[in-house]
Chains A and B, each alone.
Chain A
Amino acid sequence: MNLNQIMTLLPLIILASFAMGILLIGAFAKNAKGTSTIGYIALASMVFVFLSLFLFVGKGKMAFGSMMRMDVYSIFFNLVFVVIGVLTILASISYVKITGIHSGEYYALILFSMIGMMLMASSTNLVMLFISLEMMSIPIYIMAGFLRNDDRSIEASMKYFLLGAFASGFFLYGLTLIYISTGATSYQAIANFIAGTQRWNLSKLIWVGIAFITIGFGFKVAAFPFHAWTPDVYEGAPTSVTAYMATGVKAAAFAALVRIFFSVFSPFQHDWTSIMWLIAVLTMTVGNFTALVQKNVKRMLAYSSIAHAGYLLVAFVAGNAMGRSSILFYLLAYAFMNIGAFTILMVMAKKNDYHEDLDSFAGLGFKYPLTALAMSVFMFSMAGIPPTAGFIGKFYIFSAAVKSHDYWLAVIGVLNSAVSVYYYLRVVVYMYFKEPEEEIPTYRFSAPTVFSIVLAVWGVLQLGILPGDILNIARHSIMALM
């Protein structure tokens, strides 16, 4: 490993140093004022990571003895993670004050789990994939339980931890079975082995292995039938953490999923497409139809996140270059609109009274017109109404399905999308057309929160009106995939 290779790791080194620094500062500084300073330090680390990523544009470099690969694909995902990080940290700065999370560990854990996400998007080795998955998950298990005095938060943490550890057991067994049947852990070697072996000579264990890692990924992206934890954990966790894991974990898991399935298991594409087809359809349908009856907006967003995993799986099943690049685009769009919506919920949260149910939104449009407008933009985007990012994302996903002649999938997807309009627009209807039953409390808007919302709205509209550049970058990123 020479200096050149260490340079490849620069974004990770920056992130890790900041994370450890913040951990120590958090241990030495105790008061609440220190916590928001730490938030700004974490924000600074995002800026540095963002700048360091530009050193690598256009180069595909290996590091850690070819255990990870810094190519355009990983850089795209790293940028998505930076966006997620910036939005989450900005929104957190006042949210942690309201809810009383007075600790620097909160930001340190965000950065630590982001290291895991970045490694996951760029790992090209089964060992690295497992470690990065755990590195991403373990901080989030802790973060889900950060409201130590809230029963719901504790329960969310416990459920996420037990089910997460259970799923990672399956994931690990799957990786092991792939290792047994191919004799290698690096993607390149496994791909070579599969290419060089006749199909019927391959050990049957590799199928079990692929099935097991699908379970592991299915859990992380909240796909049916591994979605049962999602609503409980998303509802119970602190809202900022929910926003972070709904977008970040999903993006990282899809990054690794696309990389391993399209670069290593691509000879088996016909085999896994049929099962993934079923999972995609059921994930969309279950997510959307359960979201219809939710009264709690946070829980409704949790079910909608299951539905969005379904749309992403549609693109995955379509499997062509367009489908794959639309996964990348959609994940970025989803980051903007989902964190934006959760930020509005964070603004409305008071200590021990979170104002998450639908009735809290009644009449919001009159008292806080701009907030309601921003929320409407996010809801329109999630429902897939132009001119928003969600519309472009869905348009490309369903076009990809049509392009691969999977018309049924496209039809089911569009119908599902139509169903989802009902529950997203219900929030908008409540905000503008319903009289509030009780006085709307005074919400305080701090500068970072406002900045976060503005940034999210800008992202949603920018990607919705001028998606061309990002789509091109997404397309190039897919090409760079080995």
Chain B
Amino acid sequence: MLRAYLPILILFLVAFGFAAFAVVASYLLGQRKPTRVKIAPYECGISTPGYGKTRIPLRYYTVAMLFLLFDLEVVFLYPWAVTYKKLGLFGLVEMMVFIGILLVGYVYVWKKGALEWD
């Protein structure tokens, strides 16, 4: 029973060994010339703009709220899609009503100007 896991154990050892080898080898062979950029927490070539505690525009929360609502409605589309054939025309009509209600909400949000940024 446990023999079946033997290849996995071997693979694990090889992977671990290779990783350890690479780290140790670079530690022994490599040379270190630290610069300000190199010791920065994360370097990807672009210097970071500003710092972490920037203030976010209040508008962002409105967008987040709307996203949350409209995103979660999709939850009901999945079960409907799965059983689409069984539900037939009635299911389609019902889903159209559901989407229609969402659309009313969307038009309302649009008209109220919640989607405009600035």
Name A residues whose Cβ lies closer than 8 Å to a Cβ of B: 1, 16, 20, 23-24, 27-28
- Are B107 and A27 closer than 8 Å at their CB atoms? yes
- Are B90 and A27 closer than 8 Å at their CB atoms? no
Neighbouring B residues of A1 by C-beta, 8 Å? 90
Given contacts A23-B108, A24-B108, A27-B111, 12 further A-B contacts (CB under 8 A): A1-B90, A16-B101, A20-B101, A20-B104, A23-B104, A24-B104, A24-B107, A24-B111, A27-B107, A27-B108, A27-B112, A28-B111
Offer 15 A-B interface pairs, CB within 8 angstroms, sorted by A. A1-B90, A16-B101, A20-B101, A20-B104, A23-B104, A23-B108, A24-B104, A24-B107, A24-B108, A24-B111, A27-B107, A27-B108, A27-B111, A27-B112, A28-B111
Neighbouring A residues of B90 by C-beta, 8 Å? 1
Q: How far is the CA of A149 from the CA of B78 in the complex (A)?
A: 42
Select the residue from B107, B108, B111 with max chain A CB neighbours within 10 A: B108
Name which residue of chain B comes closest to A20, CB basis: B104
Task: State the Cβ distance, A228 to closest chain B Cβ, in Å.
Answer: 29
Q: How far is the CA of A1 from the CA of B90 in the complex (A)?
A: 8
* Residue tally, chain B, CB below 8 Å to A: 7
Neighbouring B residues of A24 by C-beta, 8 Å? 104, 107-108, 111
How many A-B residue pairs have C-beta atoms within 8 angstroms? Tell me. Answer: 15
Select the residue from B101, B104, B111 with max chain A CB neighbours within 10 A: B104
Neighbouring A residues of B107 by C-beta, 8 Å? 24, 27
Secondary structure class of chain B's binding surface, majority of residues: helix
Task: State the Cβ distance, B73 to closest chain A Cβ, in Å.
Answer: 14
Task: State the Cβ distance, B28 to closest chain A Cβ, in Å.
Answer: 57
Neighbouring A residues of B101 by C-beta, 8 Å? 16, 20
Name which residue of chain A comes closest to B111, CB basis: A27
Task: State the Cβ distance, B91 to closest chain A Cβ, in Å.
Answer: 10
- The contact string, 1 if C-beta is below 8 Å from chain A, for chain B 87-118, is 00010000000000100100110011000000
Task: State the Cβ distance, B80 to closest chain A Cβ, in Å.
Answer: 15
Neighbouring B residues of A28 by C-beta, 8 Å? 111
Name which residue of chain B comes closest to A21, CB basis: B104
Name which residue of chain B comes closest to A103, CB basis: B112
Name which residue of chain A comes closest to B113, CB basis: A27
Name which residue of chain B comes closest to A104, CB basis: B108
Neighbouring A residues of B108 by C-beta, 8 Å? 23-24, 27
Name which residue of chain A comes closest to B103, CB basis: A20
Task: State the Cβ distance, A5 to closest chain B Cβ, in Å.
Answer: 11
Neighbouring B residues of A23 by C-beta, 8 Å? 104, 108
Neighbouring B residues of A16 by C-beta, 8 Å? 101
The 7 closest A-B pairs by CB, nearest first: A27-B111, A20-B104, A27-B108, A23-B108, A27-B112, A24-B108, A28-B111
Name which residue of chain A comes closest to B93, CB basis: A1
Q: How far is the CA of A20 from the CA of B101 in the complex (A)?
A: 8
Q: How far is the CA of A27 from the CA of B104 in the complex (A)?
A: 11
Neighbouring B residues of A27 by C-beta, 8 Å? 107-108, 111-112
Q: How far is the CA of A251 from the CA of B88 in the complex (A)?
A: 39
Task: State the Cβ distance, B66 to closest chain A Cβ, in Å.
Answer: 14
Task: State the Cβ distance, A20 to closest chain B Cβ, in Å.
Answer: 5
Name which residue of chain A comes closest to B112, CB basis: A27
Q: How far is the CA of A23 from the CA of B105 in the complex (A)?
A: 8
Q: How far is the CA of A16 from the CA of B107 in the complex (A)?
A: 16
Q: How far is the CA of A182 from the CA of B101 in the complex (A)?
A: 34
Name which residue of chain B comes closest to A108, CB basis: B108
Task: State the Cβ distance, A25 to closest chain B Cβ, in Å.
Answer: 10
Q: How far is the CA of A146 from the CA of B101 in the complex (A)?
A: 24
Q: How far is the CA of A28 from the CA of B111 in the complex (A)?
A: 7
Task: State the Cβ distance, A341 to closest chain B Cβ, in Å.
Answer: 34
Q: How far is the CA of A186 from the CA of B112 in the complex (A)?
A: 40
- The contact string, 1 if C-beta is below 8 Å from chain A, for chain B 5-37, is 000000000000000000000000000000000
Within B48-74, the residues touching A (CB, 8 Å) are none
Name which residue of chain B comes closest to A13, CB basis: B97
Q: How far is the CA of A27 from the CA of B90 in the complex (A)?
A: 32
Task: State the Cβ distance, B72 to closest chain A Cβ, in Å.
Answer: 14
Q: How far is the CA of A28 from the CA of B104 in the complex (A)?
A: 13
Task: State the Cβ distance, A21 to closest chain B Cβ, in Å.
Answer: 9
